[in-house]
Amino acid sequence: MNKWKVFEKIKGVFRCIGLVLVLVLSVQMAQAEDYPVLPGDDQLAMHQGRPHGGRYERHSLHHGMGRGGKGICPQTRKTPKAPPDLQTLKNPLEPSQKNLGEGENLYHYKSQPSSCKVCHGANGNGLGMMASASEPMPTNFTCKETMASVTDGQMFWIIKKGSPGTEMPPYQLFLSDEQIWQLVMYVRTFIKD
């Protein structure tokens, strides 16, 4: 085989690799775009009987949502108390659909280093897919008894700073204060009257 034929074969292989990379990057960019309204053909992941993604996120991937059920209730909390000045803070954000929608997107999909539902569960019951590997178990946001003593300021502080002795990481490097307050607002929706 002469060297030009070898060169043409190598060039063909690199062309194929380039096409695959372009395709992969195109898909990733399309999934990362924000859509004001979900496209009609978008498939939403269903969690406990309802789609997540809110009005703001396109989300076509289904992933583990943990276990259904009521979770542990009441639950002994292992998180440290927030400083007194933060303990009494009320959520400063207006309870709007925009803030709730952003909080929902953060809880289910956008927050980093991982989404909240991975540990706390898609329905907030504390039984997310990583809950069984956590000691202590993640907080069950649906338990009125447990959540009665958790102020907005306490929740804000734990999300921001993390909780030593638990699997809860600090989110202060990844989320703004506004995003943390949006999460606090959304988490409050898990308590049903």
Return the pLDDT at 62: 40
Q: Which residue has the tokens 């606090």?
A: 184
Q: What share of the chain is helix, strand, coil (3-state, %, to 5)?
A: 45, 5, 55
Give the residue from 93, 25, 31, 79 showing the smallest Cα distance to 57: 31
> Any idea which of 42-51, 83-92, 140-149, 150-159 has the lowest mean pLDDT?
42-51
Q: Classify domain 84-112+142-190 by CATH number.
A: 1.10.760
Return the pLDDT at 44: 36
Would you kindly state where each structural domain of the chain is located, as residue ranges? Answer: 84-112+142-190
Q: Average pLDDT for residues 136-151, to the nearest whole number?
A: 92
Q: Average pLDDT for residues 110-134, to the nearest whole number?
A: 89
Helix (H) / strand (E) containing 51: strand 50-51
User: Three-state SS string across 15-33, please?
Assistant: HHHHHHHHHHHHHHHHHHC
Residue 105 clears pLDDT 70, i.e. is over it: yes
Torsion of CA 65, 70, 73, 78, to 10 degrees: 0
State the DSSP code for 82.
P
Q: Average pLDDT for residues 145-168, to the nearest whole number?
A: 92
Query: What share of the chain has pLDDT > 90, as a percent?
Result: 42
C-alpha span between 173 and 34 (Å, rounded):
22
Q: Pairing between strand 50-51 and 46-47? A: antiparallel
Question: 69, 131 in Cβ contact below 8 A?
Answer: no
Return the pLDDT at 59: 39
C-alpha span between 127 and 146 (Å, rounded):
15
What are the helix (H) ranges across the chain? 3-32, 84-87, 97-105, 117-120, 144-147, 152-161, 177-187
Residue 135 clears pLDDT 80, i.e. is over it: yes
- List pLDDT tens digits, range 37-82: 333 333 333 344 344 444 444 333 344 456 677 888 888 887 888 9
Give the chain's mean pLDDT: 77
Question: 78, 158 in Cβ contact below 8 A?
Answer: no
Of 142 and 68, which is predicted with more confidence? 142
Query: What share of the chain has pLDDT > 70, as a percent?
Result: 68
CB half-sphere exposure, 97, CA atoms < 13 A: 3
